[in-house]
Amino acid sequence: MRWGPSSLCLFAASAGCGLETASEADPRTDALQGRAFFERDCAACHGADGKGGGTASLGLGVAPPDLTRFTKLNDGVFPRDRIMSTIDGFNRQTHWENPMPVFGDESLGAVVQIEENGISTPVPADLLALATYLESIQE
C-alpha cells in the first residue's frame, strides 16, 4: 500500500489522531528516535537486534519476523509504506491469532507532513521514526 492522501486520511481517522499539526516545531523522525520507540515497544518480541528472538515472543505460537530482511526480500528496496501500514494496523486484517498489537490504536506521535511527488501527506512522527530505524538495520 502506498501512503497517499486518501489512505492517510483513513489511517488518521482510524488511529484517532486526527489531522492536527504537531505541537513541537519539528518532531523527531530520525533513526535514533525510532530506535527508542523500538526498544520500548518492539524489542520484547522482535529482540534487541530485530531478528525475532525477544523473550516476550516465547509461547506466542508464531515467531515474530526478522525485521532486518525486509529490503533483501523486496528486491533491494526497503518497503517503507508497507512497513508503516503493518505497524499501525491499516494494512493488516485483525485476527485473534495475530499477536502483534495494532499501534495505530495508540498515539504514534505528533503528525508531520511528508511530501512525495508533490503531494503532502500527514504521517505520525513516531511511526516515521520507527520506519527510518528499521530501514537502518537492514542487512
CATH number of the domain that residue 116 is part of:
1.10.760.10
Whether the CA torsion 34, 45, 47, 136 is positive or negative: it is: negative
**CA gap 107, 89 in Å, rounded:** 13
38 located within any domain: yes
Query: What pTM does this model have?
Result: 0.76
Phi, psi of 24 (to 5 degrees): -85, 155
- Residue among 33, 30, 22 nearest 112 (CA): 22
Question: pLDDT tens, 11-24?
Answer: 443 344 433 444 44
Question: pLDDT tens, 69-128?
Answer: 999 999 999 999 999 988 887 766 555 556 777 777 677 889 999 898 999 989 999 999
23 located within any domain: no
State how many domains the chain has.
Answer: 1
Name the residue type at position 30. Answer: D
